[in-house]
Amino acid sequence: MRIKRRGHTLVEVLVVAFILGIIIMALFLTLTTGEFSSSVSIAKTDLQAKVRRVMDWIVKDVRQTNPIQINTNNPTANHIKFKKVTGIDNDSGNHTLSSNYIEYNYTSVSGSLTRNEVSEDGSMLHSWVFSNITQSPFYTATEVPLATDGILTSKKLIIVITGQSQVRNSLTLNQTLTEEVKIRND
């Protein structure tokens, strides 16, 4: 008896190659999508942390001053400047103030918020720049930019930090954090 050995036809080989191609393409697509999703997740977490860090820094500084200090230094939606309250004078009952100013400046062109510590003679002691900030941060009420005397009547400062981040130059992430700071040192 003779056994016939028969090979695979060209059609069978092409069908198997086509099915393997689809499986490999699906795996590649899944891996690519997973990697992009991971990149977005990491960028979003980093942006949230950055916005929180900027907010915490401003809130900590503002809680250590009084409304008069902010108001007497011509506040705007893009700028505040003040001295921190360091204590109370026992004889007069007035606040004692630090000798240095804390100043925040927002520049829309560069999208940066700068925190400067400035001595009384105007020399720069320290400067920190927070980048990719997309709007003016200082308000007296929702959607009402900070203006002279606004802080004296409301005794609060609303801070809005909106940060922006790019993921692979194809996706723009935005994160906004708003906090109302009641200025207690009257």
Minimum mean pLDDT range among 46-50, 150-154, 167-171: 150-154
CA–CA dist 162, 164 (Å, integer): 7
pLDDT value at residue 141:
77
Cα separation of the two ends of the chain:
110
CB 47 within 8 A of CB 165: yes
Handedness of CA 83, 58, 172, 144 (dihedral sign): negative
Average pLDDT over residues 108-127: 93
Average pLDDT over residues 135-145: 82
pLDDT at 175 over 70: yes
Q: Who has greater pLDDT, 156 or 174? A: 174
Most confident of 94-98, 110-114, 149-153: 110-114
For residue 48, give every residue at least 6 positions away whose Cβ sits within 8 Å of its Cβ, in sequence order, or none. Answer: 175
Q: Who has greater pLDDT, 5 or 81? A: 81
129 — pLDDT class (breaks 50, 70, 90): very high
Minimum mean pLDDT range among 11-15, 46-50, 131-135, 144-148: 144-148
pLDDT value at residue 1:
61
185 — pLDDT class (breaks 50, 70, 90): low
In order, the DSSP letters of 131-156 are: --B-S--EEEETTEE--TTHHHHH-E
